Structure 1
Amino acid sequence: MLPRRFVKIRFLAIVLLAVLAVLYYLHHDNETLHSYINSGGKPAFTPKATTAPFGDSDLKYKFSQLTNYENTMENKHKLIIANPDIDATGSRLRAGQEFFSDYFTLLADAAPNCEPLRTYKSDDRIYQPGYDAQAKDGRQLTEEYLNEFLQVDDESLEVLRLAHEKVVRSLPNKAPAGLYKGNGYVYVGGGKFNWLALLSIKNLRSTGAQLPIEVVIPTLEEYEVEFCGKVLPAMNARCVLLPRALGTKISEEFEFKGYQYKSLALLVSSFENVLLLDADNLPMHNPDAFFETKPFTNHGLVSWPDFWKRTTLPKFYDIAGVKVDKTKRVRFGFNVFGKYPDYMEKVISGEVEEDVPLHDYEGAIPNPSSESGQVMISKNSHMKELFLALYYNLYGPSHYYPLFSQGVSGEGDKETFVAASVVLKNKYYQVSTFLRALGYFDSDHNYVGTGMGQYDPIEDYHIYNMRVNNKLPEYKPVFSPIHGRPITKPRFMFIHANFPKFNPWSLFTEKKVINEKGERVRLYGDGIFGEDQAGFDVELTQYKNMRFLLCEMNVKLEVFKDVEKMELCDEISAQIKYYEENTF
């Protein structure tokens, strides 16, 4: 028989374990709390230590060690035909060209042989409500309402349906072995976007991100020798010339432009898992952990929301063979938590009757619409979806962009990735925290929008599961799986600086940073510097990066070839001075 003191200790231990178990299930999800307790309050996921030297002094040294190239055609060809270390023999390049050629033959065979979809019932266009707004005058985006705009006749509908069916039937399950490996970031460069991509990459490296980067250059004319041969290699990045990656046959038979380049960039990049960033996207924190953590690891596709409710033409579902169950409403308005909870409770209970938006039904692509300034995809789990999205983009301007958006703001590639996953019934995760509109008030007190703020998917997914699955109230904090501190909202992760873009010379000459009184202004006001947002002066940081790249490192890019360096650097310094004297 055990001594009494051991019995007492055992009893106390059992009580303590029981208390911990209760706290565990009441307040925290299994994975995060387990890691949080066992690590003594440390984050559940700790990103790998930053060892890659990407600080300014390190970059200066690397720049000094790399060869200077003149932007001549001869030097272009030397750089382009030199196989990268990841494909020293060129076998991957050849395998990719053959793989792409087979699929593009299918794309050509499945072209929608009907007139472009440009016929509307009248000059009226869809009332486009923001996702976070209640319906104006009770108006909802019902099936009946959405059918009142873009018109598709029965013959065209059947042509589109058969072509879509043909493509879906022949989508490849997997890529050739060895074509894609590892994780990395991808941008679409070219022309003015070379500069914007460079500024974004400088931000990315400053966060401590170490994964490799590829910048896809659409045409030979846009391939810049110093940018591709010296600047990017110093930052563990490289250029991928799109025509070379696709091969001569595809490049000669197809003409690409605009929004089509994103899906092509995903296709030709060497990475198996990709975070695609627009060139004008500014990362605020290190995204390396995204690749190793939910929601990416258990979904394979992560997207971010746009401002708007979805305006997809109902006939798209007929074309794609998607069943929308109009007897089963599965969504009830603004985000998963509800901005208007009292009203939504009445709708759900049946106390208030309202017309049901088409995209609240089971089977339809959910609201809100998507924003493609950033998208993550696994080519292992979503190869078919990638190729179907490419099909939508190849025939997007003529057919699929109108089907997805019916001419509303932002029509383009942004809906194609989620749509492909819905059509093929594969998993995806769209960040549930609604994006933030960024801007400032001018001297007449008018709001000027300048960008979009998007949130961390890891923290968003964690909060989503705690709120929805564990019924945790919104006011109660959860422990961040990133840094271990209590949070009620995900951290600010990306600024999509889409209008205006961070070109210092055009910002000056077009008076975007100078108002009508000749006073300098901030593009983002004073609202994104808190710890729960960017945590630093974003605009000041951008201009300091500009000064480092353009004035200290003397990086030469075509976009600035007609601008005097002294004038450009004086303007950058003047804006920096303004920020430093007007900081928050």
Structure 2
Amino acid sequence: MSKFTSPQDNEWEQQLKIPPQVGNSGVGDAHLRPVNLFWSNVFKIFEDNVVSLTKSDLSSAFQYIEKSKQKGGSNTKENLLSKAYISDELLNEIKSKHKKVFDMLPEGLSSATYKEGTTGVVLIGGSKFSWLSYLSLLALRRSGSKLPVEIIMPTFKDYQKELDFCTKTLPALDASCVVVPDILGPSVMLNWQSKFANYQFKSLALVTCSFQNVLMLDSDNILIDNPDEIFQSKLYQDYGMITWPDYWERTISPSFYDIAGVKVNEKKRVRYNRFPLNVPLTEDPNLNDEEVESVPYHDLDGAVPNLSTESGQLVVNKATHGKTLLLSLYYNIYGPNLFYKFFSLGEMGEGDKDTFPAAAIVAKQKYYHVKSYIQTFGYINSGGNFQGVSMGQKNPLKDFELFEEKVVTPGYNNDKKPLNDQIEDLKKLLSETFHNRNEVPLFAIHCNYPKLDPKEFMNREDLYDPENDRLKYKLFNGLTYQKAPTAIDGQGEVNFELEQWSAIHKTVCDDKIEFVHFKDVDHSKMCEFIKNQVKWLSLKDN
């Protein structure tokens, strides 16, 4: 998620005098609204327990170790600890502050922060992200989803710039805008507005939306399956939170567990990679001293399981997982200089993504992590190299069915099987059943780089073909998918890339819907480019 620019203090104070009437949140006296009071109290807890070290002190207290000086191999405790130097002073202070925050935070979210029994989809807007969210919204409706949608606007200024988008364009698709400052209130915004940026807005979107049951999507994430049935499923009812995998293994520092008061039994292995082992539910060890030194840390009892989390999509029940959301908000508020480092140790994918499962483990609230691996889509460039452009995430309900069939049931039937034999079975399942092209259908295509933005494409020399006024490559390399049974335009196979460009053409060129993101673009020139792109993708020999 890219950075949003918050208004300056004097602009914010002026905006406070005339709060907008927006979305489903309702607006009254900001100083008296229960939702504002709740968040004022929460952020006061955060503020009172800030780590007192300066930014400069933090930089010296937490330092990544050069790769050449790190221990190689699997992510054992020793190898993870070799990735960063963390001073005792920092560890002791964070541990003290974390305990105070955990103890002082309420056990759940106030009933004033969401509407009980509601279910919906949440995306983040503002400038380019309003455009991307609209494309995502169109795909959601094509799938046949009836869920209402809220577009979260980071500032009043974003809302004011896109008033027509919020009040005229979105309602036609059962969507509305919610403004973060309107929900958090003036006391929070005056103290925190300059600190909100980047990945933090995802956590803020989760807590400021009005729904109890939430599917949060990154703005550049396109659903190709109807998500509605997830919320009626046994999977959701049993777990209350669903996450999806990223490409990499987890690299949460073992020091974090001590900071958070989470006990990791370093002599008991309970999983292989992302699959559970069938072991007794006791603290009895099953590893000898030599094995302890070689087992990946996140296979141990109490640690956050592999793989790392890709938070382009997340499903959560705010009534059952309120403590998780409050803790993840805390980890994100102090993320860039602190917790993101503990969760990544300088490896790929640093950001908000691992704050959600880590918070769930600390809060002792369960979640289901999709087991099927990511299917990557992309193209071969002129140099003959593959360039990935999107992450294909799998349907969680079908993944869970496969997990129960292939892992859970056989595991219970072979409860006496030696640990090493179980691990060999799971290794085979990992490579043969839960790989990226398995039988589990695609659920979402996270088009993260480059994003589906004609303005950006026309300025990319590596992608734009000026002679033909279109792209040089088919970025998704002919990706097709079967429409959801509930799709509004019937069944059949769809070319994903052509579908997206057709939607872009209809929105920008036929319907002429205006977006702030395109205000300085020559629309006739952009539409000619879009038209050429649609025509090229439509050719039968493609």
Aligned to 1:238: 176
1:233 deviates by 1.1
Aligned to 1:525: 477
Distance 2:493 2:30 in 1: 45
Aligned to 2:420: none
Q: Decide whether aligned partners of structure 1 residues 512 and 336 sit closer, same or farther in structure 2, where only a CA change above 3 A counts.
A: farther
Distance 2:358 2:384 in 1: 39
Q: Decide whether aligned partners of structure 1 residues 583 and 80 sit closer, same or farther in structure 2, where only a CA change above 3 A counts.
A: farther
Distance 2:310 2:69 in 1: 19
Equivalent position SS for 1:452: strand
Aligned to 2:280: none
1:558 and 2:497 aligned:
no
Equivalent position SS for 2:249: coil
1:516 deviates by 10
1:436 deviates by 1.3
1:83 deviates by 5.4
Greater displacement, 452-461 / 516-525? 516-525
Q: Decide whether aligned partners of structure 1 residues 414 and 351 sit closer, same or farther in structure 2, where only a CA change above 3 A counts.
A: closer
Q: Decide whether aligned partners of structure 1 residues 578 and 512 sit closer, same or farther in structure 2, where only a CA change above 3 A counts.
A: farther
Equivalent position SS for 2:310: strand
Q: Map Cα deviations across residues 114-162 of structure 1 (whole Å, 9 max, x no partner).
A: 245434666514999xxxxxxxx98111111111122221111111001
1:398 and 2:337 aligned:
yes
Task: Summarize the alignment of residues 165-204 of structure 1 with structure 2, pairs less than 5 Å apart.
Answer: 165-177=99-111, 179-181=113-115, 182-204=118-140
Equivalent position SS for 2:311: strand
Aligned to 1:374: 313
Equivalent position SS for 1:536: strand
Distance 1:419 1:161 in 2: 15
1:332 deviates by 2.1
Aligned to 2:59: 118
AA of the residue aligned to 2:510: E
1:349 deviates by 13
AA of the residue aligned to 2:443: M
Distance 1:79 1:115 in 2: 36
Aligned to 1:295: 235
Greater displacement, 239-248 / 111-120? 111-120
Equivalent position SS for 1:81: coil
- Unaligned stretches of 5+ in structure 1? 1-72, 129-136, 338-346, 477-486
Aligned to 1:419: 358
Distance 1:498 1:330 in 2: 34
1:268 deviates by 0.9
- Tell me if structure 1 keeps the 8 A contact 2:63–2:85: yes
Task: Summarize the alignment of residues 491-570 of structure 1 with structure 2, pairs less than 5 Å apart.
Answer: 491-511=441-461, 513-514=463-464, 520-529=472-481, 535-570=493-528
AA of the residue aligned to 1:507: F
Distance 1:143 1:354 in 2: 7
Match of 1:227 among 165, 180, 184: 165
- TM-score, normalised on structure 2? 0.82
Distance 2:390 2:455 in 1: 18
Distance 2:541 2:225 in 1: 21
Aligned to 1:575: 533
1:109 and 2:48 aligned:
yes
Distance 1:274 1:437 in 2: 26
- Unaligned stretches of 5+ in structure 2? 1-11, 278-285, 412-424, 430-436, 485-491
Q: Map Cα deviations across residues 41-95 of structure 1 (whole Å, 9 max, x no partner).
A: xxxxxxxxxxxxxxxxxxxxxxxxxxxxxxxx9xx99996225567487899922
Match of 1:332 among 272, 285, 293: 272
Greater displacement, 349-358 / 225-234? 349-358
Number of equivalences = 482
Q: Decide whether aligned partners of structure 1 residues 503 and 448 sit closer, same or farther in structure 2, where only a CA change above 3 A counts.
A: same
Distance 1:127 1:537 in 2: 47
Q: Map Cα deviations across residues 157-176 of structure 1 (whole Å, 9 max, x no partner).
A: 11100110011112212333
Task: Summarize the alignment of residues 18-33 of structure 1 with structure 2, pairs less than 5 Å apart.
Answer: none
1:306 and 2:215 aligned:
no
Task: Summarize the alignment of residues 76-95 of structure 1 with structure 2, pairs less than 5 Å apart.
Answer: 81-82=20-21, 84=23, 87=26, 94-95=33-34
Q: Decide whether aligned partners of structure 1 residues 371 and 523 sit closer, same or farther in structure 2, where only a CA change above 3 A counts.
A: same
AA of the residue aligned to 1:142: T
1:162 and 2:96 aligned:
yes
Equivalent position SS for 2:306: coil
Task: Summarize the alignment of residues 407-446 of structure 1 with structure 2, pairs less than 5 Å apart.
Answer: 407-446=346-385
Equivalent position SS for 1:316: helix
Distance 1:287 1:322 in 2: 33
Greater displacement, 170-179 / 148-157? 170-179
Distance 2:142 2:366 in 1: 32
Distance 1:127 1:493 in 2: 41
Match of 2:218 among 270, 278, 297: 278
AA of the residue aligned to 1:505: K
- TM-score, normalised on structure 1? 0.76
1:102 deviates by 1.0
Q: Decide whether aligned partners of structure 1 residues 351 and 422 sit closer, same or farther in structure 2, where only a CA change above 3 A counts.
A: closer
Q: Decide whether aligned partners of structure 1 residues 375 and 158 sit closer, same or farther in structure 2, where only a CA change above 3 A counts.
A: same
- Tell me if structure 1 keeps the 8 A contact 2:264–2:302: yes
AA of the residue aligned to 2:39: F
Q: Map Cα deviations across residues 437-475 of structure 1 (whole Å, 9 max, x no partner).
A: 221112332111111110111111111111112339999
Distance 1:563 1:390 in 2: 37
1:178 deviates by 5.2
Aligned-pair RMSD on alpha carbons? Answer: 3.4
Question: Percent identity at matched positions?
Answer: 36
Q: Decide whether aligned partners of structure 1 residues 217 and 160 sit closer, same or farther in structure 2, where only a CA change above 3 A counts.
A: same
Q: Decide whether aligned partners of structure 1 residues 179 and 353 sit closer, same or farther in structure 2, where only a CA change above 3 A counts.
A: closer
Aligned to 1:356: 295
Match of 1:322 among 238, 257, 262: 262
Q: Decide whether aligned partners of structure 1 residues 88 and 188 sit closer, same or farther in structure 2, where only a CA change above 3 A counts.
A: closer
Distance 1:331 1:515 in 2: 49
- Tell me if structure 1 keeps the 8 A contact 2:80–2:251: yes
Match of 1:470 among 409, 415, 418: 409
